[in-house]
Amino acid sequence: MEMLNVKVNGIAVSVPKGSTILEAARVAGVEIPTLCYMKEKNEIGACRICVVEATGARGLVTACVYPVTEGMEISTNTAKVREARKTTLELILSTHDKKCLSCSRSTNCELQKLCRDYGVDENAFEGFKPKYEIDDSAPHLVRDNNKCILCRRCVAVCQEQYVSVIGANDRGIDTNIGSPFNAKLNDVPCISCGQCTVVCPTGALVEKDDTDKVWAALADPTKHVVVQTAPAIRATLGECFDMPIGTNVEGKMVAALRRLGFDKVFDTDFGADLTIVEEANELVERVKNNGTLPMITSCSPGWIKFAEYYYPEMLGHLSSCKSPQQMTGAVIKTYYAEKMGIDPKDIVVVSVMPCTAKKFEIGRADESAAGVPDVDVAITTRELGRMIDRAGIKFANLPDEQFDSPLGEGTGAAVIFGATGGVMEAALRTANDWLTGKSNDNIVFEEVRGTMGLKEASYDLAGLKVKVAVASGAAAAKTVMDRIKSGKADWTFVEIMGCPGGCVNGGGQPIQPQYVRDTVDLKAERAKALYAQDEATVLRKSHENPAVKKIYEEYYTDGFGGHKAHHDLHTSYVARKKYN
């Protein structure tokens, strides 16, 4: 590989030929500010924040796209560079809705930080300012183009997710990011994944805040308010309080939820274990009775919505199992309600999820085991973080506490649901035991681990050859579905997650600046916390969960997939029109 020698602010470095100035600067340990740039996704040089001076170049050049040459000397912080960046920021602010005090992204806004760093005058340029109607038509997302800076990061990630329901409309001063023909988000085939919200540098795209519903329920003495937390939340919530990426904060999270006033704090890990035993049973039934194969997991509502929009003719491949969120909610409002002697109508189930699509899922049809919605409110990791802050709880100082029983019990298999491949590995652990009729010690299925978009593996389970695939992100889902549709896939079981990397990288997870997203593998670092907890857990197979065993002994007495379990724990799907 040919290497080029350059200097960045006097620091000598060697970089591969074809490297950009931005890449060379990062090798030198110099951070150049950016707004539109996303590594390998949105390298368009549009925002002009990353301008630098470089020998051999005419005037200032954009570091994110300008290639280095042999002997180039780069200056990233001259007076000319600083003044150019300041002017650009002031021009951006000339059309920006500067309601920072009431914006959910305040203090965690990349534009706000840069303006503070460069000492801008927010009123330097006055004139025409476009006004846009706020789009809150979708259950998961609010789009406020008055705060949009046209960086196109959301467009790039939506394209990466294959759906591409947003893009640049109109020209010149009228340019705006929107859906085709200015349609509302609820009227286009958006899969609610929320990936656009985690890359937006401002408050132009944010999750729909449902915390007021939770506060109202907690203040209502007639309601029994129960909360459940998804497996991935423990690995990410700490980031809301400046803790290192990948810190497992399960115990502090439980303590914080109790101090917020929830009557019971349950773990969606229980629902994940329940999902595995029902899903494994369904797979065995399909194999025995020549059912539709491969069977595909149904845990991710973003993926389910993607399938309903883009592959409606293939919905028969989906497992009929509800997601762990919905299974846990269903059990709370049936089994738990009966044991506690509480009318399901008086129970409010709140879920804390890594996923904005969960806000959509709770309103789906056929998700009401007790005749009322299985889950009443779904909030994201970010929303929980804001609730903890509002309550004045000092998160880092909290003691570690445990989930309430019986629906707070989960296994290591359930914990790894939060990482891509985790559902598959959990299913394989149970399937291996059930097919061999014994408890197997080999429970790590390394081939399905890792953050790659698509993984394949083959296993011999008691003489049965099982071929599996694991996909994360809608683009990888499309690859899998096209192979199945063409008849070229011979998989038995497939796991698909709507977000790249799985739930640890969900659209409701804590916002990290793009520099961090470019230089740290968030998916891998967060997943490490889940695999570490799995390794440290005594029970690591879903069918060994004592709470799961007990519910089948006491409540679902006709067994896995029986009539009662099917009524409460399974659902159905609908073919959706792409445009209303």
Q: Return the amino acid letter for 146.
A: N
Pair (325, 408) in one structural domain: yes
Return the CATH number at 30. 3.10.20.740
Q: Place 222 in a pLDDT band, splitting at 50, 70 and 90.
A: very high
Pair (199, 218) in one structural domain: no
Which residue, of 180, 207, 234, is where some domain finishes?
A: 207
Pair (438, 357) in one structural domain: yes
Pair (522, 535) in one structural domain: yes
pLDDT computed for residue 580 by the predictor = 62
Nearest CA among 230, 232, 166 for reference residue 204: 166
CB contact burial 96-119 (16+ within 10 A = b; e otherwise) = bbeebeebebeebbbbbebbeebe
In a domain, 156, yes or no: yes
pLDDT computed for residue 1 by the predictor = 84
At 334-390, the pLDDT tens digits run 999 999 999 999 999 999 999 999 999 999 999 999 999 999 999 999 999 999 999
Return the CATH number at 99. 3.30.70.20
Pair (133, 200) in one structural domain: yes
At 165-195, the pLDDT tens digits run 999 999 999 999 999 999 999 999 999 999 9
In a domain, 449, yes or no: yes
Pair (423, 320) in one structural domain: yes
Looking at the 3D structure of the chain, how many domains does it have?
3
Question: Edge-to-edge strands of the sheet including 73-75?
Answer: 11-16, 3-8, 73-75, 51-54, 61-62
Pair (373, 472) in one structural domain: yes
Q: Name the percent of the chain lying above pLDDT 70.
A: 100
In a domain, 43, yes or no: yes
In a domain, 556, yes or no: yes
Return the CATH number at 412. 3.40.50.1780
Backbone angles phi, psi at 497, to 5 degrees: -120, 140
Nearest CA among 228, 577, 137, 573 for reference residue 367: 573
In a domain, 382, yes or no: yes
At 198-208, the pLDDT tens digits run 999 999 999 99
At 407-463, the pLDDT tens digits run 999 999 999 999 999 999 999 999 999 989 999 998 999 999 999 999 999 999 888
- Bridge partners (DSSP) of residue 456 are 469
At 54-75, the pLDDT tens digits run 999 999 999 999 999 999 999 9
Which residue, of 207, 224, 258, is where some domain finishes?
A: 207
Domain span including residue 194: 93-207
At 561-580, the pLDDT tens digits run 999 999 999 999 999 988 76
Strand bridging mode 73-75 / 3-8: parallel
d(CA 133, CA 483): 41
Pair (63, 114) in one structural domain: no
Find out whether 300 and 355 touch, Cβ atoms under 8 Å.
yes
Across the chain, mean pLDDT equals 97
pLDDT at 127 over 90: no
Find out whether 144 and 132 touch, Cβ atoms under 8 Å.
yes
In a domain, 432, yes or no: yes
pLDDT computed for residue 464 by the predictor = 86
Pair (393, 535) in one structural domain: yes
In a domain, 576, yes or no: no
Which residue, of 45, 77, 109, is where some domain finishes?
A: 77
Token pair 């259950």 is found at 139
In a domain, 376, yes or no: yes
Pair (316, 353) in one structural domain: yes
Q: Return the amino acid letter for 49.
A: I
Pair (195, 244) in one structural domain: no
- Bridge partners (DSSP) of residue 168 are 177
Q: Average pLDDT, stretch 32-53?
A: 97
When computed from its CA atoms, the radius of gyration of the chain, rounded to whole angstroms, is 25
Rounded alpha-carbon distances, angstroms, from residue 142 to 137, 198, 203, 356: 8, 13, 9, 11
Pair (169, 236) in one structural domain: no
Q: Average pLDDT, stretch 489-515?
A: 97
Q: Name the percent of the chain lying above pLDDT 90.
A: 96
Question: What is the per-residue DSSP string for 419-471?
Answer: STTHHHHHHHHHHHHHHHTS--S----GGG-SS-SEEEEEEEETTEEEEEEEE
pLDDT computed for residue 489 by the predictor = 93
